[in-house]
Chain A
Amino acid sequence: MAGIAIPHVTYANLEDEMKILVAVKRAIDYNVKARPKSDGTGVDLANVKMSMNPFDEIAVEEAIRLQEAGKAGEIVVVSVGTAACQETLRTAMAMGADRGILVQSDDEVQPLAVAKLLKAIVDKEQPGLVILGKQAIDDDSNQTGQMLAGLLGWGQGTFAAKVEIGDGSANVKREVDGGIQTIALKLPLVVTADLRLNEPRYVKLPNIMKAKKKPLDTVTPADLGVDIAPRLKLLKVTEPPARAGGVKVADVNELVAKLRNEAKVI
């Protein structure tokens, strides 16, 4: 019979095992097209579908696979944002994470502040591995994992396509321009997930119900002693200008000449 894919984990046998912290962000659903508000003050998110950032879903999946492979113990998921982020944490717990922490704030929290908040959580939780998505599909910053690693003084396996946990160290295959780079990193470690790391599982109904009962703690930035004042001021948002059509060329020779001499792209 098709059972529930997630093994039952008791905390007793986790004590010596590596804890994994996974950071997840509630972001616009990847199917939804973002649109600037007409007054340019921000992006119109009223009643649009929100989901877990897809790269973070991959991060959660990787943690669960490491746990299933016996390489890790408890999985703690953390989110930073409004109370609605509880939903995102519940989704991660329905996938298989064991416990959630919401750092609740109604204010905008920029990547540097998120990294500081996560550092405070890491200091408390002492995980051996932190996994994040490589970037969120809303602000496309691609910063938080690297910043967190920097603040912690840990190694960073960014844009991971494969993670192999060894004894005291890990090999991470990274998606770099033009290929795959493999680096060895000391544990503890920060990993950021790229698209090909894995394909996240479907969440099953009974697991959604079970996730409702998993522990979820809420703290505030003030509790963690972190100043989250933004350092970047958003002056305005606009729609990108429509691309104007160019010229028609008569034949392939003219095209090649234009590409070589005018556009200089070949």
Chain B
Amino acid sequence: MTALVIAEHNNKSLNVATLNAIAAAASIGGEIHVLVAGQDCGAVAQAAAQVAGVTKVLSVDAPHYAHALAENLAPLVVSLAPAYSHLLVAATTSGKNVMPRIAALLDVAQLSDIIEVKSADTFVRPIYAGNVLATVQSVDAIKAITVRTTAFDPVATSGGSAAIETMAAGPDAGLSQFVGEELTKSSRPELAAADIIVSGGRGVGSAENFKIIEALADKLGAAVGASRAAVDAGYVPNDYQVGQTGKVVAPQLYVAIGISGAIQHLAGMKDSKVIVAINKDEEAPIFQVADYGLVGDLFKEVPALVDALGK
């Protein structure tokens, strides 16, 4: 039983999401190989070889793999697949893009967004926006899997000493071409895709005061969210809303400030990996779900937090 994990990278460094996917592969058991397909991506292959638990790195270098376009990457993985029992990739937009194409070409079902490994063929995955967990068994010989990164702690980046095997590239399918990328580095990340979200609620008190929230978000490189109460009160626009009718988010870190924790809001963020709550009301329901709670005046604590983070 050997698993092949498709590395996500930018040709220079390994995306940390890959480490979560490797962790999922590790909990299945068996050997773990990592595929690094890219352009001039030797450094990535080197890094992958160091990762704890990885026994082999397959390195493929060609210009048409530079941007992990599914039309080119999928046939490559398909050609390697017969040697493997499991194919895994992090459920990032890149992983979600390529894995179903691979699965279809192999004529196997895909298991999307797994959050738990029950056995080599049985997995738990959220459905209905996380309101329901399904335990699913695959009857296919090869399991094609995308991994919800927040559900598996990343494996260590060191401790491994895998051999790097260089493979020949497949042809360019000629269907797709990378044109460009606008990464939202300068401004704040999108709510749906952010690793960290700082959210404000009615406790923030006014649109003006939301600057306090934004300052913390900028310090953390986080997206800004809001509770429905804050949106209804007109402090921030609709598209900031986390919860029932807004977005369901699952970042690594969710900081809820001045949010009491109405169920709509909790439903929208309860899948976050770590939740921090800052609220002056010790009895606020948000503290029942927060990993770290700080009872205090947000107007004092949040600026203090910004300072503390700067140290």
What is the CB-to-nearest-CB distance from A254 to chain B, in angstroms, rounded to a whole number? 8
Determine whether the beta carbon of A158 is less than 8 Å from that of B292.
Answer: no
| Chain B 237-253 interface mask (CB, 8 Å, partner A; 1/0) | 00000000100000011
**How many residues on A have C-beta within 8 angstroms of the other chain's C-beta atoms?**
75
Binding stretch for chain B, among A60-68, A75-83, A95-103, A139-147 = A139-147
Q: Which of B122, B128, B190 contacts A140 (CB 8 A)?
A: B128
Docked complex Cα distance between A138 and B132 (Å): 10
What is the CB-to-nearest-CB distance from B66 to chain A, in angstroms, rounded to a whole number? 12
Determine whether the beta carbon of B291 is less than 8 Å from that of A252.
Answer: no
Docked complex Cα distance between A148 and B294 (Å): 49
Determine whether the beta carbon of A233 is less than 8 Å from that of B109.
Answer: no
Residue on B nearest A253 in the bound complex, by CB:
B308
Determine whether the beta carbon of B274 is less than 8 Å from that of A265.
Answer: yes
Docked complex Cα distance between A147 and B108 (Å): 10
Contacts of B175 in A (CB 8 A): 153-155, 185-186
Determine whether the beta carbon of B139 is less than 8 Å from that of A147.
Answer: no
Q: Does B100 contact A (CB under 8 A)?
A: yes
Q: Which residues of chain A from 107 to 139 have any CB-CB distance to chain B below 8 Å in the complex? A: 110-112, 115, 137-139
Determine whether the beta carbon of B93 is less than 8 Å from that of A175.
Answer: yes
What is the CB-to-nearest-CB distance from A240 to chain B, in angstroms, rounded to a whole number? 5
| Chain B 82-94 interface mask (CB, 8 Å, partner A; 1/0) | 0000000000111
What is the CB-to-nearest-CB distance from A177 to chain B, in angstroms, rounded to a whole number? 5
Q: Does A69 contact B (CB under 8 A)?
A: no
Docked complex Cα distance between A176 and B135 (Å): 28
Contacts of B274 in A (CB 8 A): 259, 263, 265
Contacts of A247 in B (CB 8 A): 291-293
Determine whether the beta carbon of A112 is less than 8 Å from that of B107.
Answer: yes
Q: Which residues of chain A from 214 to 263 have any CB-CB distance to chain B below 8 Å in the complex? A: 230-240, 243-249, 251-253, 255-256, 258-259, 263
Q: Does B167 contact A (CB under 8 A)?
A: no
Q: Does B262 contact A (CB under 8 A)?
A: no
Q: Does B27 contact A (CB under 8 A)?
A: no
Determine whether the beta carbon of B134 is less than 8 Å from that of A237.
Answer: yes
Known contacts A140-B128, A259-B292; A231/B70 CB under 8 A: no
Q: Does B103 contact A (CB under 8 A)?
A: yes
Known contacts A183-B176, A247-B293; A156/B127 CB under 8 A: no
Contacts of A163 in B (CB 8 A): none
Q: Which of B131, B174, B308 contacts A252 (CB 8 A)?
A: B308
Determine whether the beta carbon of A237 is less than 8 Å from that of B135.
Answer: yes
Contacts of A211 in B (CB 8 A): none
Determine whether the beta carbon of B100 is less than 8 Å from that of A150.
Answer: yes
Docked complex Cα distance between A238 and B124 (Å): 10
| Chain A 145-185 interface mask (CB, 8 Å, partner B; 1/0) | 11111110111101100000000000100111111111111
Determine whether the beta carbon of A140 is less than 8 Å from that of B127.
Answer: yes
Docked complex Cα distance between A266 and B304 (Å): 16
Q: Which residues of chain B from 91 to 108 have any CB-CB distance to chain A below 8 Å in the complex? A: 92-94, 96-105, 107-108
Contacts of A140 in B (CB 8 A): 112-113, 126-129
Determine whether the beta carbon of A245 is less than 8 Å from that of B287.
Answer: yes
Q: Does B164 contact A (CB under 8 A)?
A: no
What is the CB-to-nearest-CB distance from A181 to chain B, in angstroms, rounded to a whole number? 5
What is the CB-to-nearest-CB distance from B254 to chain A, in angstroms, rounded to a whole number? 10
- Most B CB atoms within 10 A — which of A111, A231, A234, A244? A231
Docked complex Cα distance between A240 and B137 (Å): 18
What is the CB-to-nearest-CB distance from B101 to chain A, in angstroms, rounded to a whole number? 4
What is the CB-to-nearest-CB distance from B289 to chain A, in angstroms, rounded to a whole number? 4
- Most B CB atoms within 10 A — which of A111, A140, A238, A247? A140
Q: Which label, helix, strand, loop or mixed, suits the secondary structure of the A interface?
A: mixed
Docked complex Cα distance between A111 and B108 (Å): 10
What is the CB-to-nearest-CB distance from A266 to chain B, in angstroms, rounded to a whole number? 6
Q: Does B81 contact A (CB under 8 A)?
A: no
What is the CB-to-nearest-CB distance from B102 to chain A, in angstroms, rounded to a whole number? 7
| Chain B 251-283 interface mask (CB, 8 Å, partner A; 1/0) | 011000000000000010011011110000000
Q: Which residues of chain B from 13 to 60 have any CB-CB distance to chain A below 8 Å in the complex? A: none
Residue on B nearest A257 in the bound complex, by CB:
B308
Q: Which of B92, B178, B196, B292 contacts A255 (CB 8 A)?
A: B292
Determine whether the beta carbon of A265 is less than 8 Å from that of B294.
Answer: no
Q: Which of A180, A232, A237 contacts B132 (CB 8 A)?
A: A237
Docked complex Cα distance between A100 and B275 (Å): 46
Docked complex Cα distance between A243 and B93 (Å): 27
Q: Which of B108, B176, B196 contacts A112 (CB 8 A)?
A: B108
Contacts of A231 in B (CB 8 A): 108-109, 138-140
Q: Does A36 contact B (CB under 8 A)?
A: yes
Residue on B nearest A178 in the bound complex, by CB:
B183
What is the CB-to-nearest-CB distance from B264 to chain A, in angstroms, rounded to a whole number? 10
Determine whether the beta carbon of A176 is less than 8 Å from that of B176.
Answer: no
- Most B CB atoms within 10 A — which of A148, A195, A245? A245
Docked complex Cα distance between A23 and B120 (Å): 33
Question: Which residues of A does B touch, CB under 8 Å?
Answer: 28, 31, 33-36, 43, 110-112, 115, 137-151, 153-156, 158-159, 171, 174-186, 195, 230-240, 243-249, 251-253, 255-256, 258-259, 263, 265-266
Name the 10 nearest CB pairs between A and B, nearest first.
Answer: A146-B100, A147-B104, A34-B128, A231-B109, A246-B291, A179-B183, A150-B101, A155-B175, A143-B100, A150-B104
